[in-house]
Amino acid sequence: MVSSGDSGNGGAGGALSAADVQSLLKDPSVDNRAATVAKVAGQLSASSFSATELPLAQEILRVMARDAERRVREALAREAKSAKDLPHDVALLLAKDVESVAMPVLEFSDVLREEDLVEIASAADEMKQSAIARRETVPEAVAETLIDKGNQTVVETLVRNEGAAISESGFNKAIERFGDDENIKDGLVHRSSLPIGISERLVSIVSDRLREHLVKHHDLPANMATDLLLEARENATLSLVSNGAGAQKVEDLVAELHRNGRLTESIVVRAACLGDLDFAQAALAALASVPLINAQKLFDDEGKLGLQALIQRSGLPKRSLPVLRKAIDVMRDTDYDGLEGDRERFSLKVLERLLTAFETDDFGLTEEDVEYLMKRLTALTSSTAQVREQLH
């Protein structure tokens, strides 16, 4: 542990020399004590001690952890925060010290036990709680305590930490306590994974921007995901078309859905049945790995082979072909009327004609899709009726 060198100029990262010991004995000032403890703690972190030297080094740190001068304890905590051989009693003593001493140990030390962290997290000390919330891994019980006892800043730090193990109960508590805080909602939505029940709950309280992220990146019930996606598309279509930026935005949306495995058959078919041909074309282009312009040409091919080849290459089931074929035919015969509520009325016309056709012919539409489209038909009927009332 102690080298035979005659100089202690190695700094905090150097080995503790005989000269350092002599210097400390002659001048036990704060500066000398801080430098000495930093060297011992640094060597401990580097696992530089032999089996016989280690107990003596640990005993030195025990003494220094009780030093009356905070600067000495800060040096110890800073240098020993990641040391695996730091005695547990020393780590706990430092963790319960003032914030400037405690925070490095609370954030980085693996010597602290789960029960230690729960105890400290239970105290109303934002800085210490935040340090715990930033740990590389936060056990579930510790996370729950932070959610119960922490303020908005602490909980935001926790939910943005992917290493924090948060139970569904913990997520629910976070929403109950801080459901109005935009930063916490943003942190929750942008976690890599969420329980499906939490995703469903967040849908009703987050902004349109965060809701779109939920649809793209998290599991939601199929009908809810489709509703959110297609409603957003319906609301945006006219403005996108009017400013000429629609196509690229649709392609961007489709590309992200495809990357995240959320470009499903139902979403494509239902979009087409609601009159959103741009989305259906972009979706099939992405699924088939062909340029959008090629997909558009195949859509416009009035023969049967173009669309059939596109669907076959896309990997969608064969049953999608007659549905999309009929949707395209109906849309060709249905025009926008240019009045207020035009988009809703267009979707309503397309949907009414398609569902009427499906009643008499077998187009391969699943019962679940028919049920979904009937629900959308009811919603669109109500929406267009409200528009008519406003116009009159």
Q: Model confidence at 358, in pLDDT bands (50, 70, 90)?
A: low
Tens digit of each residue's pLDDT (9 = 90 or more) over 15-61: 554 455 555 555 567 887 888 788 888 888 887 788 888 888 888 88
Q: Is 287 exposed, middle or buried (0-12, 13-18, 19+ CB in 10 A)?
A: buried
Paired tokens of 35: 């430098």
Residue 136 and residue 114 in contact, taking contact as beta carbons nearer than 8 Å: no
Query: 197 versus 302: which is more confidently predicted?
Result: 197
CA torsion 81-84-89-90 (nearest 10°) is: -40
- pLDDT value of position 269: 78
Return the axis-axis angle of helices 53-64 and 30-45, rounded to nearest 10°.
140
Q: Does residue 146 register a pLDDT over 80?
A: yes
Q: Model confidence at 392, in pLDDT bands (50, 70, 90)?
A: very low
User: Please, which residues have CB within 8 angstroms of residue 127's CB and are 6 or more apart in sequence?
Assistant: 99, 103
Lowest model confidence (mean pLDDT) among 5-19, 185-199, 338-352: 5-19
- pLDDT value of position 385: 47
User: Please, which residues have CB within 8 angstroms of residue 65's CB and are 6 or more apart in sequence?
Assistant: 73, 76, 90, 93, 94
- pLDDT value of position 303: 66
Q: Model confidence at 213, in pLDDT bands (50, 70, 90)?
A: confident
Report how far residue 90's alpha carbon sits from residue 119's, in angstroms, rounded to the nearest whole number. Answer: 16
Query: 124 versus 146: which is more confidently predicted?
Result: 146
The fraction of the chain above a pLDDT of 70, given in percent, is 71
Query: 355 versus 190: which is more confidently predicted?
Result: 190
- pLDDT value of position 196: 78
Lowest model confidence (mean pLDDT) among 6-15, 52-61, 119-128, 325-334: 6-15
Q: Model confidence at 160, in pLDDT bands (50, 70, 90)?
A: very high
- pLDDT value of position 123: 92
Mean local confidence (pLDDT), 319-325: 78
Report how far residue 177's alpha carbon sits from residue 304's, in angstroms, rounded to the nearest whole number. Answer: 57
- pLDDT value of position 243: 41
What is the b/e burial string over 302-337, where b = at least 16 CB atoms within 10 angstroms of the residue's CB? Answer: eeeebbbebbeebebeebbbbbbbbbbebbeebeee
Mean local confidence (pLDDT), 115-119: 97
Query: 190 versus 239: which is more confidently predicted?
Result: 190
Report how far residue 285's alpha carbon sits from residue 330's, in angstroms, rounded to the nearest whole number. Answer: 21
Residue 370 and residue 361 in contact, taking contact as beta carbons nearer than 8 Å: no
Q: Does residue 110 register a pLDDT over 90?
A: yes
Mean local confidence (pLDDT), 197-209: 76
Q: What is the mean pLDDT of the chain?
A: 78
Tens digit of each residue's pLDDT (9 = 90 or more) over 229-265: 666 554 444 333 334 444 567 887 788 788 878 788 8
Report how far residue 284's alpha carbon sits from residue 265's, in angstroms, rounded to the nearest whole number. Answer: 10
Q: Would you give the distance in Å from CA 176 to the centre of its chain? A: 19
Q: Does residue 7 register a pLDDT over 70?
A: no
- pLDDT value of position 224: 66
